[in-house]
A and B are shown apart, each in its own frame.
Chain A
Amino acid sequence: MHNNGHAVSYLDYKGKHSGIFAWILSTDHKRIGLLYLMASLLFFAVGVTFGFLMRLELIAPGRTIMDAQTYNSLFTLHGIIMIFLFVIPGLPAVFGNFFLPILIGAKDVAFPRLNLLSWWLYILGALLAVISVFLPGGPADTGWTFYIPYSIRTTTNVMPALIAAFILGFSSILTGLNFIVTIHRMRAPGMSFFRMPLFVWSLYATAWVQILATPIIGITLLLVTIERLFGVGLFDPALGGDPVLYQHLFWIYSHPAVYIMILPAMGVISEIIPVFSHRTIFGYKFIAFSSLAIALFGSMVWAHHMFTVGMSETAQIIFSLLTFLVAIPSAIKVFNWVATLYKGSISTDAPLLYALGFIFLFSIGGFTGLIQGALSVNMHIHDTSFIVAHFHYVMFGGTGFGIFAAMHYWFPKMFGKMYNMKTAKVGFWVLFVGFNTLYFPMFVMGWLGMPRRYYDYLPEFHIYHLISTIGSWILITGLIIMFTNFIKALRSKTTYTAINPWGGETLEWTIPNKPPLENFEVIPTITAGPYEFKDNDEFLMKENN
């Protein structure tokens, strides 16, 4: 459909290289986005498989299908893969790469070659993580947190896993750096900061967290590596070091990293809600600034992961208070999304369903986060499966559903094909039901005292574990329905030509599906905000009068 000469699609474009090299050496932000998509979905599949096996082991008390050491390795790998290889790059590196330049009216990111380098570093880190599984000594069994002193004592392959995480962090820093410069320097004429789509705002806030927090995990993991190699003693109590200091340094990064994961998902939801309710977004500036506020407050709450390690009470109270404060900007967003839906002309297509799923699950995850942020309750549920349920509601129910929402929303634009809407909706409901069946029982058993990361449990927890395991099967069925639907659409011969299927007002809906190499034939001049659905707003105004 692209025989107008210069507008050949990015998928058909023939550059210097051919075959696979046309992809892995491409500096086109759209191709790099797809490279990330393919790689991260591959690792998602691996992570899901590990999660499935863990759930299967827990279906009954005692040994079911694996020994305890294997189980320890599985939850470590599940964590490392899901966090560093799927959730962190899932939105910024995949959809940020693909759509950030388009959304601000640019031809590419500021440093295309650096962008490619980020992907290569990502692959290098991923390969190291994979290699660590097969080297003699066995995969790491420390949990993704690499807590000292165990991580400097265990004989498993902690080193390759540490270096892998270090390299993945570096990749994440370079992506963030690239995005900040792109947003500052490459906006189309007229695209002021307050005319930027909210997904761009969220990527901007994320990018700052990426470049300011990630170096801390870099140096911390490096120190653990040095500790293992030379026994310097910085975190080793036998030599005067302080293992709690390690935990501080670890969470100084890893808590903000949670916001690296959730912020872009919130950005996607802010794109989808106004389009599918066909209304101007409610409180644009509040949503934009709340992203920055989350990034700021989120950087100051790390010690709420450590309430039981023995900090001063003053420190605990301050960190608990700050934890409550960080809920405010998140609540502002939820409020604004719901207010946008109010009196909108809502079309319940799959992207909106996933966005609503996000709001529902993220709210449960967020509120249970507050429960844990309260000091006294935290003592009771610390290191129980309550925590596991909480962060799966936020990271999977939140970010995961955000990623799925983005996939359904931008799929026709990226590939010039359309999936079957009915199947997509069925997929959503199966996934949604499976998700809650899988994770909600964990709240209950955590509250009753089931510790996290345990291979075995008392018989009174059996029923909850059983329900949870059955939930994992439903959830995986939902995933299979969703991905089969996508693959079918990709393989179908019918090209989807409608360039604006949802009636969006942002720039990606003005260019052809499967956008050409340089996105725009002429760089657009921006004269209005991103969500001005004038017809509907005028209609509403008349109705109100």
Chain B
Amino acid sequence: MSTIAEHTVGHVHRDDIGSRLGMWLFLFTELVLFGGMFLVYAVYRFTYQHEFHVAAKELNTSVGALNTIILLTSSLTIVLSIIAIRKNNKFLSVFFQISTMVLAFGFLVNKYFEWNIKIHHGIFPGSETLLGKGNGEIIFFGLYYVMTGLHALHVIIGVLLIEVMAGYTIKGRINSTNYVRLEAAGLYWHLVDIIWIFLFPLFYLIT
């Protein structure tokens, strides 16, 4: 019989290209997930053209634009954090990761107030005000809450992910020779960004 010591022999498998491939595949699934929502949006936009037009006027374009700027900037900061760690500048990398989280937090606060105002005006699923409006407007705001809500959920997951990465970076598990995890988190963050880039015109700009 072999000894226990022999049993614990294991191999360390590291394949950065494979990890990146895996992350991209995961991002595809996320895109398809939101794709289902965009499909629903397209169908109802086609069915209720006029009512979507009326409903979209209720959304505040400048709040949406501000959030777009915030998210785009946060995408920049996460890229900068990856460049920093590649150049072996741990401090700067952590700084940019924290900046990304702060910006994401700003986005969520902004979103919170935006939703809050809507709810104060009585526009939320099942409310009397909303049920008093036409079917198309009910669907528009339904989609608005579901899609931006699902997106906000992804923002929160992204923040948690980056927080873990910042911890890894501080501990040195993410360093200038092994930063594929940070790259993966960065890719995820860009996904969150790009979905917002589509949500913004669909809800705020097209009226």
| Chain A residues engaging chain B, CB cutoff 8 angstroms | 2-3, 5-6, 8, 13-16, 107-108, 110-112, 114, 173, 177-178, 180-181, 184-186, 211-216, 218-220, 222-223, 226, 230-234, 239-242, 245, 249, 252, 517-518
**Are B7 and A8 neighbours in the complex by a CB distance under 8 Å?**
yes
What distance in Å separates the Cβ of B30 from its nearest Cβ neighbour in chain A? 7
**Are B15 and A242 neighbours in the complex by a CB distance under 8 Å?**
no
Partner pick for B26 among A177, A220, A223, CB 8 A cutoff: A177
Interface residues as binary, B9-26 with A (CB distance below 8 Å gives 1, 0 otherwise): 111010101110110011
**Are A231 and B1 neighbours in the complex by a CB distance under 8 Å?**
no
Stretch at the interface among B101-109, B138-146, B160-168, B174-182: B138-146
How many of B's residues come within 8 Å of A, CB to CB?
46
Bound CA–CA A223/B150 (angstroms): 11
| Chain B residues engaging chain A, CB cutoff 8 angstroms | 1-2, 4, 6-11, 13, 15, 17-19, 21-22, 25-26, 28-30, 32-37, 39-40, 43-44, 47-48, 125-126, 131, 134-136, 138-139, 142-143, 145-146, 150
**Are B21 and A223 neighbours in the complex by a CB distance under 8 Å?**
no
Q: Please give me the residue from chain B that is nearest to A107 by CB atom.
A: B11
Bound CA–CA A173/B26 (angstroms): 8
**Are A184 and B13 neighbours in the complex by a CB distance under 8 Å?**
no
**Are B1 and A185 neighbours in the complex by a CB distance under 8 Å?**
no
**Are B125 and A178 neighbours in the complex by a CB distance under 8 Å?**
no
What distance in Å separates the Cβ of B149 from its nearest Cβ neighbour in chain A? 9
**Are B9 and A177 neighbours in the complex by a CB distance under 8 Å?**
no
16 A-B Cβ contacts within 8 A? Answer: A3-B2, A6-B9, A107-B13, A110-B22, A180-B25, A185-B15, A215-B35, A223-B40, A233-B138, A233-B142, A234-B142, A239-B139, A240-B134, A241-B139, A245-B40, A249-B40
**Are A240 and B139 neighbours in the complex by a CB distance under 8 Å?**
yes
Bound CA–CA A418/B33 (angstroms): 45
**Are A232 and B142 neighbours in the complex by a CB distance under 8 Å?**
yes
Whether A177 touches B25, Cβ cut-off 8 Å, given contacts A8-B6, A110-B18, is yes
Q: Please give me the residue from chain A that is nearest to B124 by CB atom.
A: A230
Bound CA–CA A222/B150 (angstroms): 10
Whether A178 touches B2, Cβ cut-off 8 Å, given contacts A220-B36, A239-B138, is no
**Are B29 and A214 neighbours in the complex by a CB distance under 8 Å?**
yes
Bound CA–CA A216/B36 (angstroms): 6
**Are A233 and B26 neighbours in the complex by a CB distance under 8 Å?**
no
**Are B146 and A226 neighbours in the complex by a CB distance under 8 Å?**
yes
> A219 contacts which chain B residues (CB < 8 A)?
33-34, 36-37
Q: Please give me the residue from chain B that is nearest to A108 by CB atom.
A: B13
**Are B48 and A230 neighbours in the complex by a CB distance under 8 Å?**
no
What distance in Å separates the Cβ of B156 from its nearest Cβ neighbour in chain A? 16
The CB with the most chain B CB atoms within 10 A, among A2, A110, A214, is that of A110
Bound CA–CA A177/B126 (angstroms): 39
What distance in Å separates the Cβ of B200 from its nearest Cβ neighbour in chain A? 20
Whether A185 touches B33, Cβ cut-off 8 Å, given contacts A6-B9, A233-B138, A239-B135, is no
What distance in Å separates the Cβ of B125 from its nearest Cβ neighbour in chain A? 4
Partner pick for B28 among A15, A211, A240, CB 8 A cutoff: A211
> A223 contacts which chain B residues (CB < 8 A)?
40, 146
Q: Please give me the residue from chain B that is nearest to A229 by CB atom.
A: B125
Q: Please give me the residue from chain B that is nearest to A249 by CB atom.
A: B36
Q: Please give me the residue from chain B that is nearest to A182 by CB atom.
A: B18
**Are B22 and A218 neighbours in the complex by a CB distance under 8 Å?**
no
**Are A8 and B18 neighbours in the complex by a CB distance under 8 Å?**
no
> B138 contacts which chain A residues (CB < 8 A)?
233, 239-240
**Are A215 and B29 neighbours in the complex by a CB distance under 8 Å?**
yes
> A216 contacts which chain B residues (CB < 8 A)?
32-33, 35-36
Whether A15 touches B21, Cβ cut-off 8 Å, given contacts A212-B32, A226-B146, A240-B138, is no
Whether A14 touches B4, Cβ cut-off 8 Å, given contacts A185-B15, A232-B145, is yes
The CB with the most chain A CB atoms within 10 A, among B2, B39, B43, B126, is that of B2
**Are B125 and A233 neighbours in the complex by a CB distance under 8 Å?**
yes
The CB with the most chain A CB atoms within 10 A, among B11, B134, B138, B150, is that of B138
**Are B125 and A231 neighbours in the complex by a CB distance under 8 Å?**
yes
**Are B6 and A5 neighbours in the complex by a CB distance under 8 Å?**
yes
Partner pick for A240 among B19, B135, B146, CB 8 A cutoff: B135
Q: Please give me the residue from chain A that is nearest to B32 by CB atom.
A: A215
What distance in Å separates the Cβ of A231 from its nearest Cβ neighbour in chain B? 5
**Are A184 and B18 neighbours in the complex by a CB distance under 8 Å?**
yes
A-B contacts besides A185-B21, A233-B138, 13 pairs, CB < 8 Å: A3-B2, A114-B22, A173-B29, A180-B21, A212-B29, A215-B32, A215-B35, A219-B37, A223-B40, A226-B146, A232-B146, A234-B139, A239-B142
